[in-house]
Each structure stands twice: as structure tokens, then as C-alpha cells.
Amino acid sequence: MDAARPPILEVRGLRKSFGHSEVLRGIDLAVAPQEMVFIIGPSGSGKSTLLRCCNRLEEPTSGAVHLGGVDLMAPSTDINAMRRKIGMVFQSFNLYPHMTALGNVTLALRKVAARSRTDAETLGMAALDRVGLAAKAKSYPGELSGGQQQRVAIARALALEPTVMLFDEPTSALDPELVGSVLAVMRELKAAGMTMLVVSHEMRFARDAADRVIFMDHGVIVEEGAPDQIFAKPREARTRAFIAGLTRS
């Protein structure tokens, strides 16, 4: 990583407990502009919780999150305004079923960014176009394939022109033949310079697209490094065991 560039997203000493169980136990993480960071780790290791703490969908128990130098935990911070800058894509798409693709993409533009309807629709169409779905603008989520739905969800985040995008297992609910279309969109985002934090076990994709891979277990970062290093020569025994399991399946 380039030490000269200040991180765009920075997480320090992040802890999160649900009741008595501590799910994140002190996470430190800095993502540089335009960097694509992958997070891998066993189920229940806290990957989703970490992402959700980055935009405070989940309230951290302690620790700090900064985006572009702004302290997201500060009481004076308008969290809704900051969330526009943090795009989030979910495993289960979470499109609004009662709205068309364009409606999904323009809702926040109109209600949060306070754009006029025409403005929002122009921006929304541009976002749909970026994910190759301008032709489906008038379709409802129920009429789209899983891969198309996920791309609309990406467009929904993209339309707000975020500075960082968080992906939580964006392809794991998809049929194998639809995964490629979503990965292709992510690859294009990367090429366009988007900063991305991605929870995903698409190892092949990680190897050729990620700048860095982080292995988490039990709420801590066990090891991080370049994808080739993590996947081919993991230092930690836990990482090795996990990667071996991934490769087998």
C-alpha cells in the first residue's frame, strides 16, 4: 500500500458485541483510495458485522470509523449524509419489490440528494447503463434474474456517487452462470477507480482483481497480504486451513 496516500476509509479499534458475545474484537483497517480489499473468513467470523459497522447500520460498541477524514461516530456527523458516500451491496440484493429498477435507483436521489424527478431519472438511467441494464429500467425486481437484480442493486448504490463501496457476498446467492455478470461489473468499477471493500469467497476473482486480502476469524484480523501470498503461501495455520477448505469445495 502507498503510505503517502491517506486512507479513505479507516477503522480503528473497532469492537462490537451482541449481548454477551463479542463479535468484533478490535479491528484496525485502512483502505486507500481506489484500493480493492477482500475480506475472507469462516461463517460467523464477523465479516458482515464489520461491513455494517462501516456505515453504522450496526452501531459499534467502541472504536472509530473515519471516511475521508470525517469521524462517523461523532455526534455532530450527519450519518444519513455520510451514508450516501458509502454504497452497500447485499447478498440478498434487497431491491424494493414494489418499485421498478429505475424507481429503486432513483429513490435516494430524490429523497436524500433532493434531486428533481427529471434529474434523478437522468442520473438513474446513467447508473443502470453502467451495469448494462438501461433496457430493464421499467422492469420490477420480480421480473429480473438474480444477476440482473444484483446489478440493479449496484446501480442503486452507484447512482449516489459513493466514494467507497461495500459488498457483502454479492454473488453467493446467485446461480453459478449468473455470477460472471456481477463480477464483470465489479471489475469495471475497479477499473474506473472505485474504492471497494468486498466480503467474498470468489477466490479466482480475488486473485486477479484484489489489491489486498484480509483473513478474519473470531472477530479479529488474523492475517492480511497480497492475494497471491494469502492464497498460495498463508503464514498462519488458521488461514492455511481455511484456504485449504475453500480450494476443496
Ligand X SMILES: Nc1ncnc2c1ncn2[C@@H]1O[C@H](COP(=O)(O)OP(=O)(O)OP(=O)(O)O)[C@@H](O)[C@H]1O
Question: Which partner from the list other proteins, ligand X, Mg ion, none does 45 bind, CB cut-off 5 to 8 Å by kind?
Answer: ligand X
Minimum distance between the CB of residue 163 and other proteins, rounded to whole angstroms? 13
Total number of residues that touch Mg ion (CB under 5 A): 1
Q: Does 104 bind Mg ion (CB under 5 A)?
A: no
Q: Which of residues 90-119 bind other proteins (CB under 8 A)?
A: 90, 92, 94-98, 107-108, 111-113
Q: Which of the ranges 43-51, 104-112, 150-158, 222-230 carries the binding residues for ligand X, by CB under 6 A?
A: 43-51
86 binds, among other proteins, ligand X, Mg ion, none (CB under 5 to 8 A by kind): other proteins
For Mg ion, which is the closer residue by CB, 48 or 181? Answer: 48
46 interacts with ligand X by CB under 6 A: yes
- Interface residues for other proteins in 168-207 (CB under 8 A)? none
Contacts by 200-209, CB closer than 8 A, 24 or more apart: 200/38, 200/40, 200/167, 200/169, 200/170, 200/171, 200/172, 201/40, 201/169, 201/172, 201/246, 202/171, 203/231, 203/246, 203/247, 206/38, 206/40, 206/231, 207/231, 209/36
Counting contacts by CB under 6 A, is residue 47 touching ligand X?
yes
CA 45 to each of CA 16, 67, 83, 140: distance values in angstroms, whole numbers, following the listed order:
12, 24, 24, 35
In 3D, which of 69, 50, 34, 10 has the Cα closest to residue 215? 50
